[in-house]
Every structure is written in structure tokens, then in C-alpha cells.
A and B are shown apart, each in its own frame.
Chain A
């Protein structure tokens, strides 16, 4: 399986600020994704992070609010911009590896917006 790390693991932020979450994988992966999971809810896909090009966003998510970078095959960032309390959630990085057609998740970033 892939080993995925995320930074920060948690943060408490003020309304109107932005937070960038980093995701690092220990091996090259074919696909990287960002999910959100609000308390007691299931996973919601935000976007697919594409290497060297703009991310592919799901309905309801836009680049201005959630800019994503993926400069190489093992690293991606998600920024939550102009945060409001409604953005309080767990943000999860996820990958599909080259070796296995299986999807793995990072440990998540727990974000609280005051």
C-alpha cells in the first residue's frame, strides 16, 4: 500500500483566512484526489489533482475556493480560501497507486474555522 502523509494534521483558523494542506506520498501514484468529510457524513469528492495542469473539480466546488496544485507525481496541496465556519471539516488526500488499482487515504486534516 501507499504511505500518505498530510500536514497539518489539524488546525483552528479564523474566518476569512486561508489554509494550505499538503499531501505527500511515498511512491509515484497515478491519481490523487481531495475529499471532504463533515462530522457524521460520508466522503465528498472535491477534485482530482492533475499533475502539471488544473485540477478537475466536482459539482459544487470551484478553483477560487479550493485551489489545488500537483507539481509532481508524489505531492499535492489543497488550499481552503476565505474560510467560513461551514468549511469546518476533515480534508482527506487520497491516491490510486501505479501498482494496485486500489484507493488509499491519508490520515486527514481536521479543520475548525471560528
Chain B
């Protein structure tokens, strides 16, 4: 089992809809979880992180964490064409201060 797994997609949603991106992880001891956005031809950009069970909201983005199920998700409300990108889930190796395991990414297309 890979340390971090994501559906590769592609995921297509109409403009204004909610996009839901999912990620599972294998290390039950993981404490922090990160979401990156990568536009085509660009480098990954950190958009959110979450440490505690439950939801964390930042503008149109909501990260959800369920440690019991080893599941983290990213919801994008009111999706815009500019949200079209690949979204990467990441978990630190061996805890904070170490580099991350990255998922393979989910490609999202928001259709105008």
C-alpha cells in the first residue's frame, strides 16, 4: 500500500459546483496533512494544511480530516475555471520537519 493514495481523476465539475478531492494515508501516526495545487507547467503551491480532526475552512476551500478512517479531503466551493489544476495530498515522513510523501495527484477541470 502506498503511503498516500489519491484518485487520479480526471475530475470534472461545472462552474459554481463543489469539487471534492479525496486522499487516504497509511501511517496511522501521521499528525499533519497538506494540500498542494499544481497548475500545468508550474511547481506545486501549498494551499492548505490541517492537523486536527474535523473541518478547516479557508475561503472557498475546506479541508476535512478523519484520523480514525485515515482519510483527508479537500472541498472547493463555488468552483471556478481558475481552480482547474492538479491537487496533491501530502503527509510528512516520520513526523514534522521531515519531507513529505506526496500522492499522485487528482486532476480537476472546472467547466465554464
Q: Which A positions have Cβ atoms within 8 angstroms of B?
A: 1, 30-31, 33, 41-43, 45, 48, 90, 92, 94, 96, 101-108
Interface residue SS majority, chain A: strand
Give 5 pairs: A residue, B residue, CB < 8 Å, sorted on A. A42-B88, A42-B103, A42-B105, A102-B46, A106-B43
Q: Tell me, rounded to whole Å, the shortest Cβ–Cβ distance linking B69 to chain A.
A: 23
- 13 further contact pairs, Cβ within 8 A, besides A42-B88, A43-B102, A102-B49: A31-B98, A42-B104, A42-B105, A90-B43, A94-B99, A96-B97, A101-B92, A102-B46, A103-B46, A104-B46, A105-B43, A107-B42, A107-B43
Q: Tell me, rounded to whole Å, the shortest Cβ–Cβ distance linking B10 to chain A.
A: 11
- B74 CB within 8 Å of chain A: no
Known: A102-B49, A103-B34. A48 touches B43 (CB 8 A): no
Q: Tell me, rounded to whole Å, the shortest Cβ–Cβ distance linking B59 to chain A.
A: 17
Produce 1/0 per residue, B34-67, CB < 8 A to A.
Answer: 1000000011111001000000000000000000
Q: Which B positions have Cβ atoms within 8 angstroms of A?
A: 32, 34, 42-46, 49, 88, 90, 92, 96-100, 102-105
- B88 contacts which chain A residues (CB < 8 A)? 42-43
Most B-side CB within 10 Å, residue of A42, A90, A106: A42
